[in-house]
Amino acid sequence: MLYEWMTESPAWRDMSPTARSLYCEMKTRFNGSNNGKITLSHREAAERLNLNRNTMGRYFAELEEHQFIRAAQRHHLGPSGVGQTTRWILEEEELHGQKATKAFMSWRKGFPEATKQKPRPKPKPPRPRIEDTAPPNASPHCPAVIEFGTYLAKPRKAAS
């Protein structure tokens, strides 16, 4: 069940339709007592939503960014070398007897970007000065002399 107060929240309205569909798919896996143990891999989600599995990561990240889900345990290799999928927590449901955090209700547009560090621009080499480009025999008080080559064109035939 999706509640109206949740679907009218700014976080829900800001999400892409695919991320909303992914949340609905995760919600169908919730049985009332398995919050924090909900498993849905990228591959399985892609099959269920009829999408390419390589694109699913951005939709899981979007749900996490908008604070609808969070990972209880990230994917890893188990003791026998078999991969284990991420276990998800739905933020609108209670977890281990504690009230739901509903963190998405306090989400505001632009908040995650404000906490990210902006990339530093790469330092540019200094531009050469005129003094640096002067030929070695030029005087220090005289600007550099630019020598131009001559272009010899073929003579035109006289019009008859």
* 47-76 residue pLDDT tens: 999 999 999 999 999 999 999 999 999 988
- Residues near 46 by beta carbon (within 8 Å), at least 6 away in sequence: 52, 53, 55, 56
Gap between the Cα atoms of 32 and 100, Å rounded: 13
**Angle at the Cα of 134 from the Cα atoms of 128 and 138, rounded to 5 degrees:** 160
Task: Output the pTM of the full model.
Answer: 0.65
Helix H or strand E encompassing 4? helix 4-7
DSSP state of 36: T
What the chain holds in terms of domains, given with CATH numbers, is: 4-114 (1.10.10)
